[in-house]
A = this chain, B = another copy of it.
Amino acid sequence: MNDYEDLGGGLYCFRVTTREHTQMIDITGRIREIVNASGVQEGLCTVFIPHTTAAVTINENADPDVQLDFIKEINKIVPWNDGYRHYEGNSAAHLKSSIMGFSETVILHEGQLLLGTWQGVYLLEYDGSRTRKVYVKILQS
């Protein structure tokens, strides 16, 4: 059974359940699975997060301390409480998501994601725990 939906036309979707309020989750393997299934050799892979309090970035996939530092420092730059007016209380999550961005475009080459040696693609949860959707669009060139 696949861990993703094939929506046709090179569009795929999968879900990630986050467990913490602020969390980084490596989704590289799940994107790779889709790239393999698509059979596309050369093109672009666009990863898109259809939320406003979660985002996507690329980061080091080796030392887990990088992720701890990453979360701690961005929370310091955009504090959770800072006199915000928004009634839901999650304005910091909106801003952090916009700073990080809602999409990553990765080049496809010889049927693989053209990532650097240390690069992994991460879902960034800023207002969890929740179930998040990730769209992946594979474009053949």
List the interface of chain A (C-beta within 8 A of B): 7-11, 41-44, 46, 48-52, 57-60, 63, 65-66, 68-70, 73-74, 76-78, 82, 84-88, 91-92, 94-95, 98-107, 109, 114-119, 133, 135, 137, 139-141
Which residue of chain B is the closest to A7 with respect to CB atoms?
Answer: B109
Which of the residues B52, B87, B105, B115 comes within 8 Å of A116, measured between beta carbons? B52
Residues of B within 8 A of A119 (CB): 50-52, 102
Contact between B66 and A137, CB atoms less than 8 A apart: no
Given the interface pairs A9-B141, A106-B48, the reply to whether A91 lies near B78 with Cβ below 8 Å is no
25 A–B contacts from the bound complex (CB under 8 Å)? A8-B42, A11-B109, A44-B44, A44-B46, A44-B139, A49-B116, A50-B115, A50-B116, A52-B58, A52-B116, A52-B118, A57-B101, A65-B87, A65-B91, A66-B94, A69-B91, A69-B94, A69-B95, A73-B84, A73-B92, A73-B95, A76-B82, A99-B99, A103-B105, A137-B141
Residues of B within 8 A of A66 (CB): 86, 91, 94
